Amino acid sequence: MNRSFLTRYIWLSIAAAIATILLKTGAWYLTDSIGLLSDAIESVINLLAALMAMAMLKIAILLPDKNHKYGHHKAEYFSSLLEGILIMVAAAGIAYTAGERFLNPRPIEKLGIGLIVSLIATAINFTVARILLSAGKKYRSITLEADSHHLMTDVWTSVAVIGGVGAVGLTGWLKLDSLVAIAVAINILRTAFIIIKRSIAGLMDTSLSQQEQDTIESVLSIYRLQGIQFHALLTRQAASRRFVSIHVLVPGNMQVHDAHHIAENIEKDIRHVLGDTVVFTHIEPMDDEISLDDIDLDRPS
């Protein structure tokens, strides 16, 4: 499947990041709010993350070549991993700036127009985040999903900041602005942890989800009724592509031609229920004792 069209979603993310940087920086300049400054800093991180996502997505969509016969899909994990790290850097910068302002609070100016500008930026991020999330789930792109979650973090950050800055205007308690920014930094760290954990899991060849494995089992159960047996099932996820390997045990007196057709049908049925999946089958005679020698070989149940 040609996935080059996915880059248009990253261009949308880049455009949104540039627009929100300008808007949020303007809101901070008007109000001198550390909360709005923290919001603007996160949008800069959004832009850097989107640029990295573009680079990695262009690599991920390359066709298999001499040195990468299984494709380049895992490049998407590098993008999401870096995005998680960048989010952590943003959180650290926000927390440091907020701590400094907490010790030396300043009055907030031109509150009304600053909040309006920030609301416009938030609406842009929310719209783009929903588009990216929908595309990420539809096309199984962890890059688009990670970018979407990053933007949604920015949305909730902005909502918290706007609320905090508004509360400062109502109460006059200047330190509340810094406390909101610190709370934002903590929430951003939580999102970063989730993204990094998922990226590392992908790089470590984590098995398919239990739901997907149950789907495979539903296919195999049909063939078990026909007297076919299975073992040594292995699965892994590589960004948008799944890999499934399984040994197919057939009666020893079955002709190779017939056994091959059964294996081909199994592969086709698994691809049909899972989608973009590479399926490997290995045929073995079920009445040969050596067919069972490799059940436990590097294949924990």
pLDDT in tens, the chain (301 residues): 556 787 888 898 899 889 988 888 888 888 777 767 777 877 787 788 788 778 877 887 777 788 887 777 778 788 778 878 877 887 787 777 777 777 877 676 666 777 788 888 889 989 999 999 898 888 877 778 878 877 887 787 777 777 777 777 777 777 777 787 788 778 778 878 888 887 887 788 788 888 999 999 999 999 999 899 998 888 988 776 789 999 999 998 899 999 999 999 999 999 999 887 899 999 999 887 766 766 655 555 4
pTM passes above 0.75: no
Same domain, 249 and 135: no
Q: Report d(CA 91, CA 94) in Å as an integer.
A: 5
Same domain, 195 and 234: no
Same domain, 66 and 83: yes
- Domain extent, residue 175, equals 4-203
**Domain boundary pick from 203, 225, 241:** 203
Domain-located, residue 301: no
